[in-house]
């Protein structure tokens, strides 16, 4: 009787499903255009049309989805259809830690970060056997892990059946971990296995389910029997989800969908002559001032153009920015804001970021009993932005891993039996504090931060954020901060989603090229700055900027053209880049002694003027050795140089030479060459 009662229900559902699909034909057409036999259904629209189908999908998902697939085939729309759901009600979203046995066999939604993903491998779903005695064909559904053969045939034969054919589908196992935002206090994130098959493991989809990406999984919660060592099954079961749909939550700027309405809005915005300033004001509105820094952060989001030259050499388009500043000048606020606004933005803090956490590491794979590769922040933020706070507190060994990631934009790893090169086309925004807590404008940058010159040199622009008391400025900052607290945070002039779409549109469509006027302007600036006439007659001239800064200028000019959605880099774009570069060089590269800009103040321990003094003292000692023999009295050196250097400068230079083992002091008041 019960069976009889159930039957019409199934038929009713099929009829209702057919009626629904009649109203949903346009969307079905769109789905089929994208993929052969996969149909995406908006669950909310289904609920509006028929409550009974949607309730059945939640409580009895497998059968109901099967009924829907039959309905589609009977309508003659699609052969062998697969239905994928999206837009499920919030009530079905459950945290991994809250999954209980009452949720078994229900359609649920979980969100998290993919920690591991296995290779895609075929799995048997159905096998056909032939009975050698009577020739009957038996088909056996393969549900469990163990391959099942038929137990007996209708003719009475047991065992010894011949396998004729088997149906295979592609499957893959993902391990999903709760995202850190949903954790409270000191909880450890829980993990869950997810099995995906068929079209969800297509190469296009597999790219989006690489470890580290954030996804929403819609699927049926299943129990997986745990085999005991004795061969039987345990009474305890593992949980796993059989996925119906996997929705990637982070898209790169290149993948963001831009509708026609968005495009109209974007083009309208780009006509605004003040668009650059508006975008700059929308960055971290809770932080007052720093117009130049905000402008360069806008340029960093847009980025230059990545070029591949005829000989295969690549030059990066991403702009790297370093902020160095006194404590309490809102560096971290700016960094977290930037990590949030950029898709695939990652925020890491120096002390806790190890080389593996930044680049990549090789871990033991529990399932496949081998080694597998886990990506770090710079790889996960490929085509995005990585924000590193407290750069100077990182382990030197870990910092060295960044060099390749910043310039070559790849990360090479050779560990255990894994040799791999991963792509890390990411912009780096880093913040560091000076060694002694505060900034000293008279010392070179490299002396004030514990960072190797090679790394400092890889940043296109370096800004120093100084906290200098100034009544007028302090009043404005105080007013801004206090009003922020009154009205619960400032409004972005351009809203976050349209901001992201604007950047995405520029990155997808616009590849500006340098116009000849812009080239002239940049060349003039570069050549003139490098050949500034200097007053002091010394053997070594200070080098104001190097070719790396010229490349930075080009990238910034290209990014400025992208802001205006212009295919051509004009002279104005070149000027914007030059102004930012001048601002940064005057802040960090100005040598107060020689009154010139000196790149060595930024990237090496000594400014050129300091190096010249050391060399002068060294040469004087060599001269005096001819006169006094091995031991040279320090008094004589002072006499010799009294018109050129001050006493304490001479003593500093002598200390420097002793430190570098060029001379030594055999007894007080005398020096001798090594």
Are residues 101 and 223 part of one domain?
yes
For residues 398 and 355, is the Cβ–Cβ distance under 8 A?
A: yes
CATH of the domain at 382: 3.40.50.300
Residue 501 placed within a domain: yes
Q: Confidence class of residue 539 from pLDDT cuts 50, 70 and 90?
A: very low
Question: Quick one: pLDDT at residue 126?
Answer: 82
pLDDT at 487: 73
Residue 53: CATH number of its domain: 3.30.1640.10
Within a domain: residue 96? yes
At residue 415, the pLDDT reads: 78
* Spacing of C-alpha 238 from chain mean position: 33
| pLDDT for the residue numbered 618 | 80
The answer as to whether 598 is a domain residue is no
Number of domains composing the chain? 4
CA atoms within 13 A on the CB side of 385: 27
pLDDT in tens, 88-145: 888 888 888 888 888 888 889 998 888 777 777 888 878 888 888 887 888 877 766 6
Pairwise pLDDT comparison (534 vs 389), residue with the higher score: 389
- Domain stop point among 62, 87, 112: 87
Please give the structure tokens belonging to residue 384: 């995005």
Helix (H) or strand (E) holding 69: helix 61-74
Are residues 226 and 264 both part of a single domain?
no
**pLDDT value at residue 442:** 62
Closest CA to 431 of 390, 376, 394: 390
pLDDT of residue 490: 57
Which sign, positive or negative, has the C-alpha torsion 624, 629, 631, 633? Answer: negative
Alpha helices in 413-489 (DSSP H): 445-448, 453-456, 471-486
**Are 647 and 555 contained in the same domain?**
no
The domain that holds 664 is classified in CATH as 1.10.10.10
Q: What is the pLDDT of residues 308-355, one digit of tens each?
A: 888 888 888 888 888 887 777 778 888 888 888 887 778 888 777 666
Domain termination site, one of 586, 621, 639: 586
Residue 430 lies in a domain: yes
- The answer on 579 and 520 residing in a single domain is yes
Query: Do 267 and 217 have their domain in common?
Result: no
The confidence band for 444, taking pLDDT boundaries of 50, 70 and 90, is low
Spatial CA neighbour of 175 closest among 110, 228, 101 = 110
Q: Are residues 556 and 639 in the same domain?
A: no
Same domain, 324 and 447: yes
What pLDDT is stored for residue 6 in this prediction?
Answer: 47
Q: What is the pTM of this model?
A: 0.69
Pick from 586, 620, 642: which residue ends a domain?
Answer: 586
β-pairing, 385-389 vs 345-349, is: parallel
Q: Does residue 629 sit in the same domain as residue 580?
A: no
- pLDDT for residue 593 is more than 60: no
In this prediction, what percent of the chain has a pLDDT beyond 70? 87
Q: What is the mean pLDDT of residues 200-228?
A: 79
Inside any domain, residue 254: no
The gap between the terminal CA atoms of the chain, to the nearest Å, is 107
- What burial class does residue 249 get, using C-beta atoms within 10 Å of its C-beta: 0-12 exposed, 13-18 middle, 19+ buried? middle
Q: What is the pLDDT of residue 459?
A: 83
CATH of the domain at 151: 2.40.50.140
Q: pLDDT tens digits for 33-76?
A: 776 678 888 888 888 888 888 888 888 888 888 888 888 888 77
pLDDT, the chain, mean: 78
pLDDT of res. 29: 77
Query: Regarding predicted confidence, which is higher, 219 or 536?
Result: 219
Whether 422 and 469 map to the same domain: the answer is yes
DSSP string for 217-262: EEEEEEEEEEEPTTSSEEEEEEEEEEEEEEEE----GGG----HHH
Looking at the chain, the whole-number percentage of residues with pLDDT higher than 90 is 1
Look at residue 596 and tell me if it is in a domain: no
Separation between Cα atoms, residue 449 and residue 427, nearest integer Å: 21
- Identify whether residues 394 and 284 lie together within a single domain: yes
Q: Decide if 12 is inside a domain.
A: yes
**In a 10 Å sphere around its CB, with 0-12 CB exposed, 13-18 middle and 19+ buried, how is residue 655 labelled?**
exposed
**Do 97 and 243 share a structural domain?**
yes
Q: Which letter does DSSP use for residue 166 in this model?
A: E
Residue keyed to tokens 């001798």: 672
Torsion of CA 277, 586, 474, 279, to 10 degrees: 10
Q: What is d(CA 604, CA 454) in angstroms, rounded to the nearest whole number?
A: 8
The answer to whether 654 and 671 are in contact (CB under 8 A) is yes
- pLDDT one-digit tens code per residue, 388-400: 888 877 877 777 7
Question: pLDDT band for position 541 (50/70/90)?
Answer: very low
Tokens representing 328 are 């309490």
In a domain, 209, yes or no: yes
Higher pLDDT, 469 or 427: 427
* Together in a domain, 574 and 612: no
Range of the domain at 273: 260-586
């Amino acid at each position: 009787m019960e069976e009889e009662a159930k039957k019409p229900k199934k038929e009713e559902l099929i009829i209702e499903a057919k009626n629904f699909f009649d109203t949903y034909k346009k969307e079905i057409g769109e789905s089929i255009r994208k993929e052969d036999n996969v149909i995406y259904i908006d669950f909310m629209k289904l609920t509006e049309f028929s409550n009974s189908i949607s309730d059945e999908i939640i409580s009895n998902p497998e059968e109901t989805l099967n009924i829907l697939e039959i309905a589609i085939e009977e309508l003659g729309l699609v052969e062998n259809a697969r239905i994928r759901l999206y837009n499920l009600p919030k009530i079905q979203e459950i945290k991994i830690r809250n999954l209980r046995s009452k949720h078994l066999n229900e359609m649920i939604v979980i969100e998290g970060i993919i920690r591991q993903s296995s290779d895609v491998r075929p799995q048997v779903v159905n096998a056909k056997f032939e009975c050698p005695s009577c020739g009957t064909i038996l088909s056996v559904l393969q549900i469990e892990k163990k391959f099942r053969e038929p137990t007996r045939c209708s003719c009475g034969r047991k065992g010894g059946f011949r396998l004729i054919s088997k149906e295979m589908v592609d499957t893959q196992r993902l391990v999903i971990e709760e995202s850190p935002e949903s954790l409270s206090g000191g909880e450890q994130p829980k993990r869950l296995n997810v099995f995906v098959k068929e079209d969800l493991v297509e190469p296009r989809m597999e790219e989006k389910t690489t470890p580290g990406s954030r996804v929403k999984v819609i699927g049926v919660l299943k129990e997986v029997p745990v085999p005991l060592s004795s061969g039987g099954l345990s009474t305890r079961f593992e949980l796993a989800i059989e996925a119906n749909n996997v929705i990637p939550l982070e898209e790169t700027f290149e993948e963001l969908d831009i509708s026609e309405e968005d495009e109209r809005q974007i083009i309208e915005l780009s006509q605004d002559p003040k668009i650059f300033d508006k975008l700059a004001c929308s960055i971290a509105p809770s932080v007052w001032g720093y117009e130049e820094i905000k402008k360069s952060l806008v340029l960093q989001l847009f980025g230059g153009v990545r070029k591949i030259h005829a000989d295969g050499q690549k030059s990066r388009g991403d702009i790297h920015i370093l902020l160095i500043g006194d404590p309490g000048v809102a560096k971290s606020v700016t960094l977290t804001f930037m990590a949030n606004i950029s898709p695939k933005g990652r925020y890491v803090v120096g002390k806790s970021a190890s080389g593996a956490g930044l680049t990549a590491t090789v871990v033991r794979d529990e399932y496949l009993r081998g080694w597998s590769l886990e990506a770090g922040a710079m790889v996960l933020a490929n085509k995005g932005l990585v924000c590193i706070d407290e750069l100077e507190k990182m382990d030197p060994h870990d910092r060295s891993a960044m060099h390749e990631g910043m310039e070559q934009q790849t990360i090479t790893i050779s560990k255990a039996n894994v040799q791999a090169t991963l792509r890390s086309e990411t912009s780096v925004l880093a913040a560091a504090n000076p060694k002694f807590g505060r900034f000293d404008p008279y010392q070179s940058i490299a002396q004030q931060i514990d960072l190797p010159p090679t790394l400092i040199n890889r940043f296109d622009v370096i800004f120093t954020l100084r906290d200098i008391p100034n009544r007028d400025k302090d009043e404005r900052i105080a007013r801004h901060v206090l009003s922020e607290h009154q009205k619960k945070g400032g409004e972005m002039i351009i809203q976050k989603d349209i901001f992201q779409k604007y950047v995405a549109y520029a990155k997808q469509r616009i590849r500006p090229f340098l116009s000849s006027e812009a080239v002239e302007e940049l060349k003039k600036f570069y050549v003139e700055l490098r050949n500034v006439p200097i007053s002091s007659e010394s053997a070594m001239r200070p080098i104001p900027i190097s070719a790396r800064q010229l490349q930075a200028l080009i990238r910034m000019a290209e990014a400025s053209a992208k802001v205006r959605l212009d295919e051509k880099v004009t002279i104005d774009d070149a000027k914007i880049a030059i102004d930012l570069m001048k601002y940064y060089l005057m802040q960090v590269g100005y040598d107060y002694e020689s009154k010139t800009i000196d790149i060595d103040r930024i990237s090496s321990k000594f400014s050129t003027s300091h190096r010249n003094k050391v060399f002068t003292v060294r040469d004087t000692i060599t001269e005096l050795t001819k006169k006094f023999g091995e031991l040279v009295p320090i008094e004589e050196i002072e006499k010799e140089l009294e018109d050129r250097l001050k006493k304490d400068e001479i003593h500093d230079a002598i200390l420097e030479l002793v430190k570098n083992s060029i001379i030594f002091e055999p007894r007080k008041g005398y020096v001798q060459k090594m």
